[in-house]
């Protein structure tokens, strides 16, 4: 096993262990979304998902690890969850047709953010790289 892969696995395990102390911000209404994502000074990485979705379930441990890692490092990125079953208005506003849909929001990229477009490669490494590239653009 390569060092990079071993480090990734250790990071995921530690992040899952810390998940109870650090959890993504849940958004249920349009007003909450505006407050937490669009009007915030922080950047936001948002996961639009549905219960029972197998791809969403596969993403869950990676999402928790990403949230714990970004929180621990103080990246200035708020990790946000939007359940499209309980927050239909929010998902409709952003045109979410397939789940999971992941978007990165900054003050610079407009109301709809940058959509993660790497198909179903929903791993910690792929999402962290996506987010870090977006951070490089705004700093």
The residues carrying an active-site annotation are 53, 56
**Within 10 Å of residue 13's Cβ, how many Cβ atoms?**
12
Are the beta carbons of 42 and 78 closer than 8 angstroms? yes
**Within 10 Å of residue 9's Cβ, how many Cβ atoms?**
13
* CA dihedral sign, ordered 97, 98, 99, 101: negative
- CA 34 → CA 14, 83, 105, distances in Å? 31, 16, 11
In the DSSP assignment, the letter for residue 108 is S
């Amino acid at each position: 096993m390569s060092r990079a892969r071993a480090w990734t696995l250790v990071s995921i395990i530690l992040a899952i262990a810390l998940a109870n102390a650090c959890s993504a911000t849940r958004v249920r209404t349009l007003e909450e979304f505006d407050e937490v994502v669009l009007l915030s000074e922080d950047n936001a990485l948002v996961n639009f998902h549905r219960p029972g979705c197998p791809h969403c379930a596969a993403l869950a441990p990676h999402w928790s690890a990403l949230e714990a890692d970004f929180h621990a490092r103080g990246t200035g990125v708020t990790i946000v969850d939007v359940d499209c079953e309980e927050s239909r208005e929010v998902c409709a506003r952003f045109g979410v047709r397939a789940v999971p849909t992941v978007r990165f929001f900054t003050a610079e990229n407009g109301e709809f953010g940058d959509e993660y477009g790497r198909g179903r490669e929903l791993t910690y490494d792929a999402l962290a790289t996506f987010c870090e590239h977006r951070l490089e653009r705004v700093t």
